[in-house]
Amino acid sequence: MTRTLNAFGSALLAIVVWQAIVSGFSLPKFILPGPLLVAETMWKSRVIIFENALVTISEVLIGLVLGALLGAATAINLATSAFARIYIRPILVFSQAVPVFALAPILTLWLGYGIWSKIFMTVLIIYFPVASAFYDGLTRTPKAYLDLAKVMGANDKRLMWHVRIPAALPSLGSGLRLAAVYAPIGAVIGEWVGASKGLGYLMLLANGRAKIDLMFAALFVLAAFTVLLHALVDKGAKRMIKH
């Protein structure tokens, strides 16, 4: 309850400061629209915002699930296979040397302007944080846990599934929390490069037509969804760790 009140208070303070800046400097609405105008535009354009938000949300959720599964599987493979650590891990690290943003035009060229290029972009942007965080947790299992399991006759497979993975769940949770924040970025970048629907596309369209109030409305819907997604993933991660 306290966290909710604090969040509400922070949002209210930000709105007051925002309105004060707009009024104090007499900024035109095509530079910085006021919060009331943005709220009015959000209500008037709720249908088009909702339709485009559904597309972006679908891209983010599908990409988040696929990226999390792929990242977790990669981490387990790295932790169990010397071959993977020697030959695959350097490739994984090298892949981060290429800016993910620069790959968006290539993905659009290969996969088209539909939803899959955005999903793939989302997967790419969250894959490394999940894999890296989970792998780090798998390699930091307390030695006492491993020694006790070996004394009880556990083999490598049982050590992995019954000791190392449960002990690494907090690290996986940290990776998933990061993924929840990064996933919308991947989807929107993909929409900026080439799309016919989505909040990123709507923001570009509104900017091109000087409808800055609509652009801000789409931006706040995206931000609200990201905050909600992070809260849900955080709650799920805490429940996963407790179990």
**Does residue 115 sit in the same domain as residue 7?**
no
**Does residue 18 sit in the same domain as residue 96?**
no
Q: What is the pLDDT of residue 213?
A: 94
**Confidence class for position 1, pLDDT limits 50, 70, 90:** low
User: Residue 216: which CATH number?
Assistant: 1.10.3720.10
2, pLDDT greater than 80: no
**Does residue 220 sit in the same domain as residue 128?**
yes
**Does residue 65 sit in the same domain as residue 11?**
no
Instruction: Give me the helices (H) in the chain, please.
Output: 2-24, 35-44, 46-80, 82-83, 89-95, 100-111, 115-138, 143-151, 156-159, 165-193, 199-208, 212-242
Q: How many CB atoms lie within 10 A of CB 19?
A: 13
- What is the total count of domains within the chain? 2
What predicted TM-score, i.e. pTM, was given to this entire model? 0.92
Tokens standing for residue 197? 């629907």
Q: What is the pLDDT of residues 31-54, one digit of tens each?
A: 899 999 999 999 999 999 999 999
**Confidence class for position 175, pLDDT limits 50, 70, 90:** very high
**Does residue 7 sit in the same domain as residue 81?**
no
Q: What is the pLDDT of residue 243?
A: 65
Angle, alpha carbons 148-151-155 (nearest 5°)? 95
**Does residue 27 sit in the same domain as residue 94?**
no
Q: What is the pLDDT of residues 194-230, one digit of tens each?
A: 888 999 999 999 998 989 999 999 999 999 999 999 9
Its domain, for residue 25, covers 1-32
Q: What is the pLDDT of residues 16-36, one digit of tens each?
A: 898 899 888 888 888 899 999
**Does residue 24 sit in the same domain as residue 105?**
no
**Does residue 215 sit in the same domain as residue 193?**
yes
**Confidence class for position 181, pLDDT limits 50, 70, 90:** very high
Mean pLDDT taken over the chain: 90
